[in-house]
Amino acid sequence: MAEPYPNLWRRSREEEYDITDYYILDNSFKSSFYQLDFNTFVDTHTKEAALRVSPSLVSLISYSGEKRIFWASGIVIECDNVNGTFFSTILTSASLLRLGASENSLPEKFKVEVILPDGSLCPGDIIAYDWHFNISAIKIQSSAPLPTADLRCLDDTIQTIDTSGHFPLEETSLRLLPRSNLFKLFPGDDFIALGRYHSEPYELMVAPGKFSINSCRLDCKELLRVNCKITKCGIGGPMINLYGEVVGINFYAEDFTPFLPMNVVSKWWEHVKGCREYDRPWLGMQVIRLFTAEMDELEKIVRKFPNISIGIVVEEVTPESPAAFAGIYPNDVIVQFDGKDVQSCLELFEVIWDKVGKRVDLVVLRASNGARLDLSMVVGGINTGQFNR
């Protein structure tokens, strides 16, 4: 197998915590969201949604020995009663577990502290982490139950006309809402990035913004983006909709906030709970949604296939990968995979997740010669510590 290459979407972080009085970095751990001017004015609907989630929103600090190495936010997703003792699971970023952005192992004498909304401090135990998707699960113990967040998966097959009928759901006992009831995305939808500050008064941090159809232009193609800005202590916090449902886990970029959709996070968590160890599917190609492709490439595709309306565009193919062996080339458009129409990266992800080691058929449109190709490939698998795509 070719040498794994690093996940470029993981941005480097400030290694030094010292900040001068004159120059406060808006991407430092010491800065609250509210040091960014556009987060200081929040409307009523945004406040109401954020307050629904705030009881489940925590801050986390990681240490190597006595040295603090990372500050993050996280969200409580489960709380189990075991003989009167409550064990809660927190989702956050795996950046919390690293000494540096390129490190892929836990530091020596590593520990995590979790700060609850009231300022209470709990030691955290690492349940699982995935360097590839940059997510982790932390468990804490408490004498009283902690509120858990409602989770919502997304439908990112973008439409331009709102036919979904966005409305609040009826109360349900399920925390992960049914797969048939996805939250339909539209460009310009309102979303809110949340974080919990790590020092008194442990404030709820809110960064409202609009969903953007544009690609994050980062290495992880499952990432979506909202045009809001957070600071680095918001890494690992939830992205929510206006109904107070968690739709993803936030990361950091300078000009927007990328987030990993709950579709990916929930699949990962289901596998972790079921078998702990697993092989993640690997195709060896980078793909993007059809209409987020560069204009010159999109024009070539539409010129050859004027009625095309669905598909994902292949940007890169890794040598000696399942995609390469199947005969897939850059700028090919995949319109069917395993007998299903494919309109987005999330749809492809969900189709391949349980297909490791299996042969699947796919239909590809090749703009270079106008051909429609019926191909097949065996879905590869990689260990959770590797970075191949």
> What digits encode the pLDDT tens for the residues 71-81?
999 999 999 99
Tokens 């050859």 found at = 304
Smallest Cα–Cα separation from 196: which of 20, 21, 76?
76
Per-residue model confidence (pLDDT) at position 261: 95
- Listed as ranges, residues in the chain with pLDDT below 50 are 1-26, 159-180, 386-389
Decide: 379 and 352 in contact? Cβ < 8 Å: yes
Q: Report the largest interatomic distance among the alpha carbons of the chain, rounded to a whole angstrom.
A: 67
Per-residue model confidence (pLDDT) at position 158: 63
d(CA 46, CA 43): 5
Tokens representing 332 are 């090919």
Tokens representing 17 are 């915590």
DSSP string computed for 21-54:
SS---TTSTT--GGGSGGGS---HHHHHHHHHHG
> What digits encode the pLDDT tens for the residues 99-128?
766 666 788 889 999 999 999 999 999 999
Decide: 29 and 71 in contact? Cβ < 8 Å: yes
Per-residue model confidence (pLDDT) at position 218: 66
Residue 112 backbone dihedrals phi, psi, to 5 degrees: -125, 135
CA distances from 9 to 114, 141, 161, 242, 272 (A): 26, 33, 31, 27, 23
Decide: 120 and 86 in contact? Cβ < 8 Å: no
pTM of the model: 0.81
